[in-house]
Structure 1
């Protein structure tokens, strides 16, 4: 087991209870671990939520944190995965001045080459959406920033494991 820090994606299956997000984030906070990204959503099982948390730490410490997360009453199961063990995406949205779309031919090329898409265009602004790896989103940000970005936001990571997590069987029992 290596003592080197690396990115881990943590998947936490939970009952949907108020205050749980605060308690889970406090587990990381107490250990002075910065959460790189956080996403909460419904899971594949009705009435069960899924937290997807990205952190940079050692494997030894992530194992301890998984144990602490699983001690929370509402947590059904928590897993951690390395970058190689998951398939993931992030999304971002850019708001830019409409004039740029028509005056700067290069912007249309950037949008096309990056596989981004225009979501809406009106007289004052247009909105571009892009999904992909963090590096792809950062590249698009750098390319568009020279033209002036009015607003920008990026989602947390969403991910699925390459291997089965055996959670479905456990969740079916939970539903009964």
Structure 2
């Protein structure tokens, strides 16, 4: 599992924009920026939709006021699902990034296998990344939602 002080692995995260699907190389996406990344097991799932994403939507301005250039939500879903979920949640201030094949999540060492429910998904976590290096990492215990909340990350910044 990735740890604080380590550089993010190379990867590609997809985002559906008005110009179509844009594939972001992680090295470029995180270069020279302070980024809050939070990951969810799946778009449109109960805790993710009722609390995790809405917390970041509500606190986006306060988080960005602390010098954050980008807030990114990552899930092992496709870019179309992530866009639809972001639209449904009023998440205009959040980059809704798809890790369609889970390769970035696996490179982080933060995958979990949910079996027939959904296959390989991401563990729930939040991290602060500065110029491609993890400066804070909060990984949730299974079935928990405490340390990756927007309020906790806001206090960490």
In the superposition, the TM-score normalised over structure 1's length comes to 0.25
Higher relative contact order (CA 8 A, sep 6+): 2
Structure richer in strand, relative to its length: 1
The structure in which a higher percent of residues are helix is: 1
